[in-house]
Structure 1
Amino acid sequence: MIHDPWEPPEVPLAVDLVILTLRGTSLQVLLIERAIEPYQGAFALPGGFLAHVEEDLGTAARRELAEEAGIEAGSLYLEQLGVYGEPGRDPRGRVVSVAYLAVAPRLPEPVAGSDAADASWQPTNRVLSGELVLAFDHRRIITDGVERARVKLENSALATAFCGPAFTIGDLQEVYEAVWGRPLDPRNFYRKVQKASGFIVPVGREQRTTVGRPARLFRAGLSSVLSPPITRPVAPAADAADTHPEEEG
């Protein structure tokens, strides 16, 4: 018996982008409003299909970011977050998406283009709580992206990028609280920061305050990896899936 030669199934490949930044004291994610079906009018991550079979995935991600939100990737570091390909995630048929993550300070206001009716920064807590309804499985992808960002703050010096050239421990704590989504005990946070060798360095002057003692100023140190890590406190029961043991002392 002669068998027909096997042919691989045709599964479209797409990219999606989770772009996170701090605006004020709020961790925010870049979203577009879809101008076309499916999910016309719904919030979604910027992204789309590869333009052609020869297009590199990273190139496609940067192209979609520019086309849909008017943001040029430039020096923006995009890292692969994960691959999402469950059947039924796209009503048009089986689609596999490679998601990319960037966490960066001082990103510009987006400008909608391509098949986006609008583009804006939205607080991640509105997404994670389900207050904002998103297209496809994009809430799951954002949830994964936020968790990756939270882990980055535990293990790297990323938080200092969101502070000025000179900052107080309180300024740094605000970054951690915004990304982790919970308040921190100032004294415990101070101890953890001081234990992380090379994380921050005093600049030799103080910031005057209206009340109390002047606050010491610091700058980013040379270490990009925190040793020991600055771990998150135990999460409330409501989000116990996101727990890390608290370090006391």
Structure 2
Amino acid sequence: MKTFVRLALCLSLSLMPMLALGQETAPPPVEPPETVITVTESANLRALADQQGYDGHTPVNYLFIVPAKTNIMGKPGGGTGIDTGKWPEDASVVLLVRGNVYGGGGNGSDGGDTPMVRDGSRGGDAIFVQSQLGIVISPGGSVKAGGGGGAGADGVGSGGGGGFPNGAGGRGGSALQGGDSVIVAGNQGYYGTPGGGGRGGQRGNTGGDGGNAAMPGQSLNRVGGGEGFAIRTNGNDVVLDNRGDLRGQIG
């Protein structure tokens, strides 16, 4: 069964509860998916299928469902939310998102003047595509790119904030200050959360804020991390029907 045909079926199923009572609809002229797999954490879809006995050769139809009220997040530091893995051409794969799929947040960079000055790290991709894929984002569902980590501040510098949704804050740096050579330290940046990027640390020179969903981290003299992709296609064919909240680039 072709991916775009199965996509239409999945969309029909996802919207059924919204149809008016008494409204007659003709059943879609396609068969239901052979295999349905629920996804509740960051995963490689091909690996999930293999765990359930897929041999990699037989033509198959797979429907992967992210349930409502489920948050899937890539690892802090820019991890991927969902990776399709590689599939043969005769495999039909559809991802139905009723919950939330987020790229991991970029980490904020450390503050202070040290030999290992770093910029904030990039946010992660929500969906990383390695083979043709159909995606349905249902009403109430979302796919959001990770936010970039904020830049740490120079000198007596606080760390940058972590990017949406879970990026770590950078550590505060220290420096000698005044004629008495007193060591003064900035403080750590705040972690990113599903509500947005974390603030930069506030002591001494303020660190840059972490980026919100699909936004870069704040730059200072150092550079905040860039945002991830909502859907990184890698040149593969993607059929998308978005009825929810999609934030970030597709490409």
Q: TM above 0.5, one fold?
A: no
TM-score by length of 1: 0.29
Greater percentage in helix: 1
Task: Give the TM-score of the pair, scaled to structure 2.
Answer: 0.29
